């Protein structure tokens, strides 16, 4: 070796970027030579290397021993990879190539080695491995099907999910032409996308064929693989099963279609607006109703559908704040400018954050409805006016209508009392019956008219409900007797003796019910009962019922018997007569008394009509009137009546006939025309007959010629005053006549007046101005007294 060669060798060794070293063999090996690169690799200074043992560069002595033995055994190692550590402790991968150098005797003199830092390689190698592994993991575990095709469009690789999705295995897939996966039409469509030129295509919705031939809806993305020169080498396809999404989508669409159908076929205009109140959607009827088309509606402000003043009203409803408004009556403008009446409902739409996103408006055309309503309203007003005018007229006519009727009945009566032959009598009786029927009808119609015209006010005077019933039963016992019926009544002990109410109206109701009961019953009995539903210190509610054993009323007819001009059966009108107004009047009167009226009935078993009425209670149970006891009148036989007893039969055989109904004949002796007229009015209103004379003398004379049930006597009269006339009448009665009750009517309002009247032989006393209720009460009392 020349010197220059030696120099060159040394330069080479010093400059090489690999570590070169010579060490002694064995466990206690140490360095004989290292080049600068070696020290550098470990971050050491050259001289420091020599202070270390070879084993120091290994993780453990054992590791070095194994390597040492391997070199001795094999004579060399090549590219042995070992982990060592730098001065700062960092691990480095080293590649060792070592040769054992021997002397002539074959003993190993030293090891010559070459060391290379391969840490960077190692890192790259590991990362590559890891990324491959990651890719494999992704590929194998993806829930999408991945297929790789070669440039001939044959499948060369796929992931497990592809097998699952297509239900195919290795044999089915490997080398399969990818076009066979698609229905021909789909494949042509995919081809038309020219994927090769673009390089990729995403989100194609298509169908693929599974192994069993069925189709699968998929979403597909394709990436084309190219080599460095840009030649296509294959493609990767990613397929996602969207069958369930498609089904959901179809269902949604179907439901949207249904909604659409409903919206389009609803007879209301439905519009949807966005948050800026512009119309974004509407149904077919909207176009129909408003005569508009898309250009008139789409993105137009919703306010354009309404007249400005109506829009102001709609805005004033503050619907955005309230959230909704139903049935707003407003107006809309059609395209042709016509304004129509509509019913508008608005609902505000909000998102989940409660922000307003728009509104739904529903409008219905109510033009016709409003017209009809207006017409109905007008018709109703007209009908009410007509009815009210009729009632008003009838109510005002009452006097004029009733007076001649009373005269007719009275005259017939008087004529009947004269001597007549049988035929005349018969004719007159027929005429009387007809006249009485007519009078009843007139009375009922007038009564109903008065109720309807609001002209009836209820009296508030003391009445004994028991006495009212007693007197009614006595009065009607004639009718009951004629039909061989028992007429019974009972008053529950709890019922207060005196209450405050309107005796005339109460009588009217009960008489009507009892009359009906007798009329519609051919055998058995009629029972009147009074019960107290509730009683306290001030008020009571009474239940009055009339039960018969008559023909009964069918369930359907029960609903209408209280209506005007309705009897249970039209044939009944013919057979039983009657005006058909009695129950209608009774119903209204009961309602005025704060009660209700009803009926329970069974065909052929009988009916119970009942009503409730509210009364105030008289605080002191003292009767207001103290009429004079009078002798039993001959025309009414005495029978024991005690309202405290219950179930007292009024046997019709105990009552004598000749009292044809409760109609009384009244004589009025009064000189003042005004007082006459008022008294006549009051008595005729009651349906009684009244005869007027102007002084006491005329009164004395007329009772000789005509029968009267009661005399109303003014005190101060010309010719013969009331006191004197009474005295004359009483004297005459003692000789040849029955006792007629005489009631004084006087404006004497002084104490002792009453006593003076009674002393003169009068039976009762009322003061002027006439108090109607008091007058009737005392007449009632006196004419029923002692019977």
Q: Which residues contact other proteins by CB under 8 A?
A: 395-396, 398-399, 450, 455, 457, 671-675, 677-678, 681-682, 685, 714, 716, 746-748, 768-770, 772
Closer to other proteins by Cβ: residue 30 or 748: 748
Closer to other proteins by Cβ: residue 474 or 505: 505
Task: Give CA–CA dist 514/501, Å, rounded.
Answer: 20
CB of 525 to other proteins, least distance (A): 37
CB of 633 to other proteins, least distance (A): 29
Task: Give CA–CA dist 77/94, Å, rounded.
Answer: 13
Closer to other proteins by Cβ: residue 507 or 772: 772
φ, ψ dihedrals at 719, nearest 5° = 65, -70
Closer to other proteins by Cβ: residue 591 or 753: 753
Closer to other proteins by Cβ: residue 284 or 685: 685
CB of 713 to other proteins, least distance (A): 13
Classify burial at 246, counting beta carbons within 10 Å of its beta carbon; exposed 0-12, middle 13-18, buried 19 or more.
Answer: middle
CB of 467 to other proteins, least distance (A): 24
Closer to other proteins by Cβ: residue 369 or 393: 393
Considering only CA atoms, give the Rg of the chain: 62
CB of 767 to other proteins, least distance (A): 9
CB of 564 to other proteins, least distance (A): 21
CB of 711 to other proteins, least distance (A): 17
DSSP 136-192: HHHHHH-SSEEEEEETTSBEEEE-HHHHHHHT--HHHHTT-BGGGGS-HHHHHHHHT
Q: Is 669 helix (H, G, I), strand (E, B) or coil?
A: strand
Burial 31-64 (b: 16+ CB within 10 A, else e): beebbbbbbebbebeeeebeeebbbebbeeeeeb
Task: Give CA–CA dist 532/543, Å, rounded.
Answer: 6
CB of 456 to other proteins, least distance (A): 8
Closer to other proteins by Cβ: residue 75 or 718: 718
Closer to other proteins by Cβ: residue 221 or 403: 403
Q: Are 435 and 377 in contact (CB under 8 A)?
A: no
Q: How far apart are the first and last CA of the chain?
A: 179
Beta strand pairing call for 710-714 and 764-767: unpaired
CB of 748 to other proteins, least distance (A): 8
What letter would DSSP give residue 525? E
Closer to other proteins by Cβ: residue 201 or 725: 725
Task: Give CA–CA dist 78/99, Å, rounded.
Answer: 9
Closer to other proteins by Cβ: residue 557 or 748: 748
DSSP 555-586: HHHHTTTTSTT--S-HHHHHHH---S-HHHHH
CB of 782 to other proteins, least distance (A): 21
Q: Are 725 and 767 in contact (CB under 8 A)?
A: no
Closer to other proteins by Cβ: residue 401 or 630: 401
Closer to other proteins by Cβ: residue 65 or 685: 685
Closer to other proteins by Cβ: residue 395 or 442: 395
Task: Give CA–CA dist 71/114, Å, rounded.
Answer: 13
Tell me the two tokens of residue 113.
């080695």
CB of 391 to other proteins, least distance (A): 12
Virtual torsion, Cα 404, 406, 408, 411, nearest 10 deg? -130
CB of 677 to other proteins, least distance (A): 6
Tell me the two tokens of residue 656.
């004598």
Closer to other proteins by Cβ: residue 438 or 458: 458
Dihedral of alpha carbons 554, 557, 559, 561, sign: negative
Chain-centroid distance, C-alpha 370: 24
CB of 387 to other proteins, least distance (A): 18
Q: Is 675 helix (H, G, I), strand (E, B) or coil?
A: helix
Task: Give CA–CA dist 47/617, Å, rounded.
Answer: 137
SS in 3 state form for 328-359? EEEEEECCCCCEEEEEEEEEEEECCCCCEEEE
Chain-centroid distance, C-alpha 30: 105
CB of 744 to other proteins, least distance (A): 12
């Amino acid at each position: 070796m020349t010197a220059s060669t030696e120099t060159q060798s040394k330069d080479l060794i010093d400059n090489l970027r690999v570590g070169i070293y010579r060490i002694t063999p064995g466990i206690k090996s140490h360095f004989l030579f290292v080049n600068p690169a070696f020290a550098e690799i470990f971050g050491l200074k050259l001289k420091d290397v020599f202070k270390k043992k070879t084993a120091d560069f290994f993780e453990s002595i054992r590791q070095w021993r194994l390597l040492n033995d391997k070199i001795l055994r094999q004579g060399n190692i090549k590219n042995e990879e070992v982990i060592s550590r730098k001065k700062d402790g960092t691990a480095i991968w080293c590649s060792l190539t070592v040769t054992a150098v021997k002397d002539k005797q074959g003993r190993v003199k030293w090891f010559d080695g070459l060391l290379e830092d391969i840490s960077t390689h190692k890192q790259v190698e590991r990362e590559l491995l890891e990324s491959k592994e990651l890719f494999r993991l992704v590929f194998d575990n993806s829930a999408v099907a991945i297929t790789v095709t070669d440039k001939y469009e044959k499948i060369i690789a796929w992931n497990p999910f592809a097998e699952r999705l297509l239900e195919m295995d290795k044999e089915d897939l490997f080398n399969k032409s990818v076009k066979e996966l698609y229905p021909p039409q789909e494949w042509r469509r995919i081809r038309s996308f020219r994927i090769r030129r673009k390089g990729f295509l995403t989100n194609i919705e298509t169908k693929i064929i599974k192994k069993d031939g069925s189709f699968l809806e998929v979403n597909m993305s394709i990436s084309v693989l190219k080599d460095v020169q840009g030649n296509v080498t294959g493609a990767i396809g990613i397929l996602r099963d969207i069958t369930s999404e498609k089904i959901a989508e179809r269902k949604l669409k179907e439901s949207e279609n249904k909604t659409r159908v409903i919206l389009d076929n609803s007879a209301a205009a439905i519009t949807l607006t966005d948050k800026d109140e512009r119309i974004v959607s509407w149904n077919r009827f909207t176009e129909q109703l408003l005569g508009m088309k898309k250009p008139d509606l789409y993105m137009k402000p919703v306010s354009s559908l309404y007249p400005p003043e109506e829009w102001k009203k709609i805005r004033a409803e503050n619907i955005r704040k309230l959230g909704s408004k139903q049935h707003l009556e407003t107006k809309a403008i059609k395209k042709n400018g016509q304004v129509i009446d509509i019913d508008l409902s608005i609902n505000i739409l909000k998102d989940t954050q409660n922000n307003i996103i728009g509104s739904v408006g529903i409008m219905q055309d109510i033009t016709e409805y409003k017209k009809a309503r207006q017409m109905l309203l007008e018709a109703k007003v007209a009908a009410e006016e007509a009815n009210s005018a009729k009632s008003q007229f009838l109510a005002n006519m009452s006097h004029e209508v009733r007076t001649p009727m009373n005269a007719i009945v009275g005259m017939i009566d008087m004529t009947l009392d004269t001597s007549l032959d049988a035929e005349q009598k018969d004719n007159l009786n027929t005429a009387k019956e007809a006249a009485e029927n007519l009078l009843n009808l007139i009375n009922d119609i007038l009564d109903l008219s008065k109720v309807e015209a609001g002209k009836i006010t209820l009296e508030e005077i003391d009445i004994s409900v028991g006495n009212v019933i007693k007197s009614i039963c006595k009065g009607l016992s004639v009718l009951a007797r004629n039909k061989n019926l028992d007429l019974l009544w009972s008053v529950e002990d709890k019922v207060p003796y005196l209450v405050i109410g309107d005796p005339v109206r109460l009588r009217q109701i009960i008489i009507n019910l009892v009359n009906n009961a007798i009329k519609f019953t051919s055998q058995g009995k009629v029972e009147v009962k009074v019960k107290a539903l509730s009683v306290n210190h001030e008020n009571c509610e009474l239940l009055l019922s009339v039960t018969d054993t008559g023909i009964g009323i069918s369930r359907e007819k029960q609903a209408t018997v209280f209506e005007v001009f309705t009897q249970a059966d039209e044939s009944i009108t013919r057979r039983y007569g009657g005006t058909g107004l009695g129950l209608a009047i009774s119903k209204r009167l009961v309602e005025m008394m704060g009660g209700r009226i009803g009926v329970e009935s069974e065909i052929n078993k009988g009916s119970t009509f009942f009503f409730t009425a509210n009364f105030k209670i008289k605080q002191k149970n003292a009767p207001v009137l103290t009429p004079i006891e009078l002798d039993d009148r001959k025309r009414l036989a005495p029978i024991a009546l005690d309202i405290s007893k219950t179930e007292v039969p009024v046997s019709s055989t105990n009552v004598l006939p000749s009292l044809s109904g409760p109609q009384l004949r009244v004589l009025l002796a009064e000189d003042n025309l005004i007082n006459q007229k008022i008294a006549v009015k009051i008595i005729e209103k009651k349906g009684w007959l009244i005869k007027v004379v102007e002084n006491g003398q005329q009164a004395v004379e007329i009772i000789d010629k005509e029968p009267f049930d009661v005399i109303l006597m003014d005190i101060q009269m010309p010719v013969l005053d009331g006191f004197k006339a009474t005295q004359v009448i009483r004297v005459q009665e003692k000789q040849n006549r029955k006792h007629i009750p005489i009631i004084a009517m006087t404006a004497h309002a002084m104490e002792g007046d009453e006593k003076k009247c009674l002393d003169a032989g009068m039976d009762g006393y009322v003061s002027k101005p006439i108090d109607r209720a008091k007058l009737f009460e005392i007449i009632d009392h006196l004419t029923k007294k002692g019977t």
